[in-house]
A and B are shown apart, each in its own frame.
Chain A
Amino acid sequence: MLNVEHVYKTFNPGTINEKRALIDVNLQLEDGDFCTVIGGNGAGKSTIMNAIAGVWPVDSGRITIDGNDVSGLSEYKRAPFLGRVFQAPMMGTAGDMQIDENLALAARRGQKRGLRWGVTAKERDEYREILRKLDLGLEDRLTAKVGLLSGGQRQALTLIMATMKKPRILLLDEHTAALDPKTAAKVLAATDRIVNENKLTTLMVTHNMRDAIAHGNRLIMMSDGDIIFDVRGEEKQRLQVTDLLEKFEAAGGEVSDRMALS
């Protein structure tokens, strides 16, 4: 489904701030894989997500999605293949637009946007049903501005927007990191449900080792711009937090407080 081949990316090359963010990264995701990504600060977790999403072009290497080479496609042209949820709740929605308008924007991902109505009455009914399943009380607030919602509600909404038009790959970039533990658990549960229902191929970055172990069928660990550990299936299910910490230290990584405490 996703094929990342020999991808390199260096930020600020030739300057004192040069940062080799991705060094010969190779990653294959099978159809239906739910892969969690862990690693310390600056390991390249978000960078690989941005490389796949096309926020900027990579220096070299190839990224294919479902057999389509997307390396040369700009961010908005790749968007039809991807659903994305970001770390900051503000990032994934348009705060000054209504809930239904945000959903309608997402429903037209990959379609030509012309002079038809931005949201139709029929769509509103569909959205109400989708939001009812979330159980956050949003179904009665379709015309409320998204900016009025809490961080958790916004992340849940972004998750719906990322998945309502079934993406080939769902990219979750620490999408629960900015939420309180209870809300984070709710959003993660919704994530699990949606991913399973739609059998979505998913890449989820997280700082929380327990979440990384508990969710998905595969786990990769990144360090210094490369993937240093890749487990799947039963082996992943037997994984303990201490195993991951050991692996991490063996790779010369510094265990941050945030990782150790989670």
Chain B
Amino acid sequence: MGAYFASLNPHALWNAAPGGLAQGLIWGIMALGVYLTFRVLNFADMTCDGSFALGGATAVMLILAGWSPEAVLLMSFVTGVAAGLITGILHTVLGIPDILAGILTQISLYSINLNIMGKANQAVPVNQVKVPFTSNIQYLGQTIALTLIVDIVIIGIFYWFLGTELGSAIRSTGINENMSRAQGISTRRMKVIALAVSNGLIALSGGILTEYQGFADVKMGQGAIVIGLAAVIIGEVLAEALVGKRLNFILRLGFTVFGAIVYYFVYVFVLWLKFPADDMKLLTAIVVAIFLAVPYLKQMRTNSFRSLARRTAKDFAGVKTAAPVENGLKEKAVGGKEEKSC
């Protein structure tokens, strides 16, 4: 045990922090996409695992084809939009339930991504091409600043877009479909638009991560939905705790990105504790479960039958509490009869 703690190097953790921040900011873009479907549209979209890797595959292959590393990110966004359109059409035109529609697109994207890349992973020729989102330690500060700007711009666009007529219609579709149709909104169209934009952002995030890590892998999107949800939920829990009632929409979006950063810091920290990388998915699940459970348990502490029983036992000390009635069934039956006779 002592040897284990001695082997942990605080310096290494400090050195790993900027990388965690950069990755958190990149995944934050993805989390914003998840927020749009999961929270605004109320649609559990499973496409994202596939569209994230699709964005990466698009980026790496176009860079290899000689495109500029900036233009390829635009194409990552475009291919993501296409993936979202497919899920939208599967759901609205072909009537496939939301989760299943997303899973179908996701699984088909696995094959499509393999076809795009020709093999399971492809490296970005970082020595020949200067990518804007590099993880090169020399330029890491620039990468972090640039990613932060991208996050802020996207949050700004989100804020504006969801305040427009179209954005309002998307929000109302997520809240009350019947009412939306009664007000002349094509709820199908709204779902397709939101899915397209969401997956566009997710693929953009995948493209940026590919430039950052220097390669794309067909499995890079595996569990992306969970990380996105983790960011959204961690962000919500922290926002609730830190700003409470003053929480507005901009802050909500900001905290979603912050949630992704927190997630990545936890990730980096656990890696630093020398957890095997294979256990990271398990760790992700545990982190999400904790953040989901904490608000619930906190609420249950004051608002549950058990807590009420505790309080009444204290307040009415000496008064006999009801014991579970024996032969409850029999008594009930008698009671029923009496009711009928009167």
A82 contact set on B, CB distance < 8 A: 182
> Closest residue to B175 on the A side, CB-wise?
A94
A92-B179 Cα distance, complex, nearest whole Å? 5
Question: What bracket does the count of chain A residues touching chain B fall in?
Answer: 20 to 34
A93-B175 Cα distance, complex, nearest whole Å? 9
Given A101-B168, A113-B169, A114-B164: A80 and B184 interface contact (C-beta under 8 Å): yes
A95-B183 Cα distance, complex, nearest whole Å? 15
Of residues 105 to 159 in A, which have CB atoms within 8 Å of B's CB atoms?
A: 105-106, 108-111, 113-119
> Closest residue to A78 on the B side, CB-wise?
B184
> Closest residue to B184 on the A side, CB-wise?
A79
Given A53-B182, A161-B183: A114 and B175 interface contact (C-beta under 8 Å): no
* Contact between B168 and A104, CB atoms less than 8 A apart: yes
Task: Give B74 Cβ to nearest chain A Cβ, in Å.
Answer: 20
A48-B171 Cα distance, complex, nearest whole Å? 30
B 175-207 binary contact with A (CB < 8 Å = 1; else 0): 110111111111100000000000000000000
A117 contact set on B, CB distance < 8 A: 163-165
Whether B132 sits at the interface, judged by CB under 8 Å, is no
* Contact between A91 and B176, CB atoms less than 8 A apart: yes
Given A94-B172, A94-B176: A115 and B164 interface contact (C-beta under 8 Å): yes
Whether A75 sits at the interface, judged by CB under 8 Å, is yes
A97 contact set on B, CB distance < 8 A: 168, 171-172, 175
* Contact between B166 and A94, CB atoms less than 8 A apart: no
Task: Give B245 Cβ to nearest chain A Cβ, in Å.
Answer: 12
B223 contact set on A, CB distance < 8 A: none
A161 contact set on B, CB distance < 8 A: 183
* Contact between B181 and A95, CB atoms less than 8 A apart: no
Given A80-B184, A91-B179: A116 and B172 interface contact (C-beta under 8 Å): no
Whether B167 sits at the interface, judged by CB under 8 Å, is yes
> Closest residue to A95 on the B side, CB-wise?
B175
A109: which of B161, B163, B171, B184 is its contact (CB, 8 Å)?
Answer: B184
> Closest residue to B40 on the A side, CB-wise?
A96
Whether A11 sits at the interface, judged by CB under 8 Å, is no
Interface of B is mostly: helix
Given A75-B182, A92-B182: A115 and B166 interface contact (C-beta under 8 Å): yes
* Contact between B165 and A118, CB atoms less than 8 A apart: yes
Given A94-B172, A105-B168: A118 and B184 interface contact (C-beta under 8 Å): no
* Contact between A91 and B168, CB atoms less than 8 A apart: no
Given A76-B187, A79-B184: A94 and B179 interface contact (C-beta under 8 Å): yes
> Closest residue to B185 on the A side, CB-wise?
A76
A117-B178 Cα distance, complex, nearest whole Å? 23
A 64-75 binary contact with B (CB < 8 Å = 1; else 0): 000000000001
> Closest residue to A109 on the B side, CB-wise?
B184
Task: Give A66 Cβ to nearest chain B Cβ, in Å.
Answer: 16
A82-B184 Cα distance, complex, nearest whole Å? 9
Task: Give B39 Cβ to nearest chain A Cβ, in Å.
Answer: 10
A86-B166 Cα distance, complex, nearest whole Å? 24
Task: Give A18 Cβ to nearest chain B Cβ, in Å.
Answer: 23
A118-B342 Cα distance, complex, nearest whole Å? 59
Whether A84 sits at the interface, judged by CB under 8 Å, is yes
A105: which of B172, B178, B186 is its contact (CB, 8 Å)?
Answer: B172
B186: which of A76, A93, A118 is its contact (CB, 8 Å)?
Answer: A76
B 139-173 binary contact with A (CB < 8 Å = 1; else 0): 00000000000000000000001011111110110
Given A94-B171, A94-B176: A75 and B181 interface contact (C-beta under 8 Å): yes
B 244-267 binary contact with A (CB < 8 Å = 1; else 0): 000000000000000000000000
A110-B171 Cα distance, complex, nearest whole Å? 18
Chain A interface residues toward B at CB < 8 A: 53, 75-77, 79-80, 82, 84, 86, 90-97, 101-102, 104-106, 108-111, 113-119, 161
11 contacts between A and B (CB under 8 A): A76-B187, A77-B184, A82-B182, A91-B178, A94-B171, A106-B183, A108-B165, A109-B183, A113-B166, A113-B169, A115-B166
Given A92-B179, A94-B175, A105-B169, 10 further pairs, Cβ under 8 A = A93-B176, A94-B176, A95-B175, A97-B171, A101-B168, A101-B171, A108-B183, A114-B166, A115-B164, A118-B164
